């Protein structure tokens, strides 16, 4: 109760400052430092209504420290606002149906725009007028370069509001909308804005259940976007049809360097489609297909494309159950590939025969520096084959063999090898 009385008194004081003077209100953070700290540690709850947004904005603008904005429900806005000695400031803001809240959100955030990094965490509820208020903020964010909205619930409507502002923003380079349930409709909205945006280089749409339809929409925009370099579509329930659409766009895109498709279900057919596009793409350097159920046939397709691709340096095929046959196919392509430096084959049910094939390829490969074979089952025979090949390889620096059913003696034999490669067993 005492804290709340102090808050009311301070609110009256600050309101009086605005009403009694035309000039910008003066705020002395040191005067209220003890109060703010006490309020914060006692889990004091409040909302923005106790202070005019002009006061809060002025307090933020008076601080030269990095500002992190957290839009969460019912949290300690005022206490956070005046703890200026902290390494960061955290504002918690409720967005609801109220137009007043919507306007307040825009005004408060506009006061934070001197910062070039904005991190938004916690659940956000976009309802009614709040969409418009947030979009208004986004359009005037003239200094913002990074916006993190990951792990919220903005949904398709929130994505539409964000996408509507993208063509009007000329500074944002990184946008994280991962884990926001935007669905196919949200992905379509984002896609429509990408050809008209001239600054965004990193876009995270992971874990949004955009499906094949959303993947098709994003893919359609890629040939018309000349800025985006990193795209995360992981965990989106994308199947082979979505993968085919992505594949069709890759030869016509000249900027994308990193593509993350982890935790989808593109299967063998999707892997075949992507493989067919790799020789015709000249920019992609990192491709993540972790846990996509591509199987042996998908691995064979990827293998066939590797000798004809001249840009890919990192390839993740982990968790795809490619088995010994898939490992043999990948191994056969390694001596003919001159760019790949990191290869991940963990969790693939690779046994001794697959390990022997990989071992046979290592002395003839001159670029691979990292090889991950964790959580397979290469056993004693596979370990011995790798031990025999490592002294004849001149580039491998990291080899991961954890959880491969390798006995104590064979582990020691691997440790005793005279090689520059660091072996983790």
125: left (phi over 0), alpha (psi -120 to 50) or beta: beta
- Predicted local distance difference test score (pLDDT) of residue 144: 67
In the predicted model, is pLDDT for residue 157 greater than 60? yes
Please provide the average confidence, as pLDDT, over all residues in the chain. 76
Supply the DSSP string of 330-383, one letter for each residue.
HHHHGGG-SS--EEE--SS---HHHHHHHHHHGGG-SS--EEE-TTS--HHHHH
pLDDT in tens, 202-234: 999 999 999 999 999 999 999 999 999 999 999
In the predicted model, is pLDDT for residue 41 greater than 60? no
In the predicted model, is pLDDT for residue 12 greater than 90? no
In the predicted model, is pLDDT for residue 93 greater than 90? no
Report residue 204: phi and psi, to 5°: -110, 110
Mean pLDDT, residues 18-36 taken together: 37
Mean pLDDT, residues 90-100 taken together: 37
Range in 306-315, 370-379, 407-416 the model is least confident about: 407-416
b/e 319-337 (16+ beta carbons within 10 angstroms → b): bbbbbbbbbbbbbbbbeeb
User: Measuring CA to CA, which residue among 236, 273, 232, 231 is closest to residue 253?
Assistant: 231
Pick the CATH number of 2-424 from 3.40.50.300, 3.20.20.70, 3.80.10.10, 3.30.70.100: 3.80.10.10
Structural domain boundaries in the chain: 2-424
Mean pLDDT, residues 126-142 taken together: 44
Question: How would residue 90 be classed by pLDDT, with cut points 50, 70 and 90?
Answer: very low
In the predicted model, is pLDDT for residue 307 greater than 50? yes
Structure tokens at 379: 């056993």
- Predicted local distance difference test score (pLDDT) of residue 122: 40
């Amino acid at each position: 109760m005492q804290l709340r009385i102090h808050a009311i008194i301070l609110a009256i004081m600050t309101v009086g400052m605005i009403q009694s003077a035309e000039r910008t209100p003066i705020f002395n953070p040191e005067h209220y430092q003890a109060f703010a700290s006490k309020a914060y540690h006692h889990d004091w709850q409040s909302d923005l209504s106790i202070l005019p947004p002009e006061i809060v904005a002025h307090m933020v603008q008076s601080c030269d420290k990095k500002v992190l904005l957290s839009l969460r429900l019912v949290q300690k806005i005022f206490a956070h606002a005046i703890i200026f000695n902290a390494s960061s400031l955290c504002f918690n803001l409720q967005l609801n149906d109220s137009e007043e809240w919507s306007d307040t959100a825009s005004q408060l955030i506009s006061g934070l725009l001197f910062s070039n990094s904005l991190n938004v965490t916690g659940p956000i509820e976009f309802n009614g007028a709040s969409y418009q208020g947030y979009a208004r903020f986004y359009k005037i964010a003239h200094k913002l370069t990074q916006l993190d909205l990951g792990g919220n619930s903005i949904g398709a409507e929130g994505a539409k509001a964000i996408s509507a502002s993208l063509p009007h923003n000329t500074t944002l380079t990184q946008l994280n909308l991962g884990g926001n349930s935007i669905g196919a409709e949200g992905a379509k909205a984002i896609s429509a804005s990408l050809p008209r945006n001239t600054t965004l280089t990193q876009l995270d749409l992971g874990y949004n259940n955009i499906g094949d339809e959303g993947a098709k929409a994003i893919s359609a925009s890629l040939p018309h976007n000349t800025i985006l370099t990193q795209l995360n579509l992981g965990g989106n329930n994308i199947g082979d049809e979505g993968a085919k659409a992505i594949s069709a766009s890759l030869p016509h895109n000249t900027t994308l360097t990193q593509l993350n498709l982890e935790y989808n279900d593109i299967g063998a057919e999707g892997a075949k489609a992507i493989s067919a596009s790799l020789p015709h793409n000249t920019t992609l350097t990192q491709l993540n297909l972790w846990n996509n159920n591509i199987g042996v046939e998908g691995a064979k397709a990827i293998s066939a494309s590797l000798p004809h691709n001249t840009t890919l340096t990192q390839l993740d095929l982990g968790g795809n159950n490619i088995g010994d046959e898939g490992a043999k196919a990948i191994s056969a392509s390694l001596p003919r590939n001159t760019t790949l430096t990191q290869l991940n084959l963990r969790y693939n049910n690779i046994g001794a025969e697959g390990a022997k094939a990989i071992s046979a390829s290592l002395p003839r490969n001159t670029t691979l520096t990292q090889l991950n074979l964790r959580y397979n089952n290469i056993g004693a025979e596979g370990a011995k084959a790798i031990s025999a090949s490592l002294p004849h390889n001149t580039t491998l620096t990291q080899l991961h063999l954890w959880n491969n059913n390798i006995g104590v003696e064979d582990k020691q034999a691997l440790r005793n090898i005279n090689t520059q490669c660091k072996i983790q067993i």
